[in-house]
Chain A
Amino acid sequence: MNRSLVILFGALALGVAVFAGSYFVSQRAAELCCARPVDDLIWLRDEFHLSDAEMQRVRRLHESYLPQCAEMCAKIAAKKTELQAELAGGTNVIADAQVKLTELGELRAQCQAQMLRHFITVSQAMPPEQGRRYLAEMKQLTLGASELMEQSMSGDAGHEHQH
């Protein structure tokens, strides 16, 4: 093989190795440095630049919300189990399953409403501009996904149900 070609490929490989090595090492270092697995609220403090006093208010709200959220999750899980049981046994499943589906939907709506109330309360505990940004981001992250799914199921996305 041509000596010059070997030199060029060697230089190229060395360059790639230097770049990739420094990239992966520094990426891992940054991940390890920034990751603080003990606190769920660390993202709020970093993202919305909250002071210690604001963080304390937000933490109190968060801790009072968690039992309500867990209770609602347990109700939804129980209703889903009931629905599964209805679907698994019996011959006249449609009517019973419809009732369970309606109840499940109601529970989900209650859970979403409770979640939104919490987001609004938390946003009010932040400086106004950060609060607005937090609320917009939380709406987009929690409700945006289901909206996207509904849009894809409706005619907006160029797809319609064939009944």
Chain B
Amino acid sequence: MNKNDTHPDGPQISALLRESRMSPALPPCFQQNVWRRIENAEASARPASWLDALAAWVLRPRLAFATAAVLLFAGILLGVREGSQSARHEAQARYLAAVAPATLR
């Protein structure tokens, strides 16, 4: 623990010290310089070509996860549909083979 905190005049001394601390003067055109640096940083982050822009767009996590989810869902949906149709055709062929000789078809 700081010894100053226990001193009876501690708060007064702290206030005097804060007042005596001089804040340095801002350099000329400080604000303009800050904005210029921000603009330069944004300009350097901008992609160089449409290919880079597309790659950056593709790598966005939200888009990547959404696309993967859509592809997964579409794959499952189509696969189940195809699989059940193929099983249906197989069952139909089995019935036909039982009731209708292949030579008559």
Q: Chain A interface (Cβ within 8 Å of chain B)? A: 2-5, 7-8, 11, 14-15, 18-31, 33-37, 40-44, 46-47, 62, 65-66, 69, 72-73, 76, 108, 111-112, 115, 118-119, 138, 141-142, 145-146
Contact = CB atoms under 8 A, between A and B. Distances in A.
B67 interface: yes
Given A4-B54, A27-B82, A47-B92, A115 B99 contact: yes
Interface of A is mostly: helix
Contacts of A141: 92, 96, 100, 105
Nearest to A11: B58
A108 B49 CA distance: 73
Contacts of B84: 30-31, 34
A155 B66 CA distance: 57
B83 A15 contact: no
Nearest to A30: B83
B92 A27 contact: no
Given A4-B54, A4-B55, A22-B71, 4 more contacts: A8-B55, A11-B64, A26-B80, A141-B96
A18 B58 CA distance: 16
A66 B79 contact: no
5 contacts: A2-B51, A14-B68, A18-B68, A26-B83, A29-B80
| Residue of B49, B52, B58, B75 with most chain A CB atoms under a 10 A cut-off | B75
B88 A8 contact: no
B101 A76 contact: yes
Contacts of A111: 101, 104
B104 A112 contact: yes
Contact of B75 (A3, A11, A19, A119): A19
Nearest to B86: A31
Contacts of A47: 88, 92
B43 interface: no
| Residue of B81, B90, B100, B103 with most chain A CB atoms under a 10 A cut-off | B100
B76 A108 contact: no
Given A35-B87, A111-B104, A146-B105, A21 B75 contact: yes
Nearest to A18: B71
Nearest to B100: A142
A31 B27 CA distance: 76
B79 A30 contact: yes
Contacts of B78: 23, 26-27
B104 A115 contact: yes
B72 to A, nearest CB: 5
